[in-house]
Amino acid sequence: MTRTRHEIPSLQLRLVADKDVVIGPGKADLLDAIERTGSISSASRELGMSYKKAWQLVATMNRHLPEPVLDTASGGQQRGGARLTTTGRELLARYRALQTLLDPDSSPAAERLLELLDTDEPPDSPAS
């Protein structure tokens, strides 16, 4: 699970199977970056992660899906690269659609849930 600190309360969507996060915010951002750059190494540099870590995240997604999320070709700058498979594009699209449903700007239920964490007010004192 994530150990990041969040200054502002927010909702995060994660699909979990066994002990693995199949897709969450970081993996979705990685897939977006791979789609945009056409390269795992370029995507990992853009996101500030190691190439090895990017491959580990891809391997976790692949372990839980019926087909791989990427098509890759070796060969460096000229012939190499990576692109999302149909499964990868579908996974990312469905994840982003659900993320939109949890956006407090478009979901009154999400907004109400986050309002419970109003950090400007001191917590209620216990009844005596």
CATH code of the domain covering residue 57: 1.10.10.10
pLDDT at 80: 72
Instruction: Tell me how many domains the chain contains.
Output: 1
pLDDT (tens digit per residue) in 9-18: 888 999 999 9
Are 11 and 110 in contact by the 8 Å Cβ rule? The answer is yes
Among 21, 39, 126, smallest CA distance to 77 is for 39
Q: Does residue 30 lie in a domain region? A: yes
Model pLDDT, residue 87: 98
What does pLDDT average to over the chain?
Answer: 88
Which range of residues forms the domain containing residue 79? Answer: 18-93
Give pTM, 2 decimals: 0.82
Residue 39 forms part of a structural domain:
yes
Instruction: Please write the tens of the pLDDT for every residue from 5-64.
Output: 778 888 899 999 999 999 999 999 999 999 999 999 999 999 999 999 999 999 999 999
Q: How far is CA 78 from CA 44, 71, 73, in A?
A: 19, 16, 10
Residue 82 maps to a domain? yes
- Residue 6 placed within a domain: no
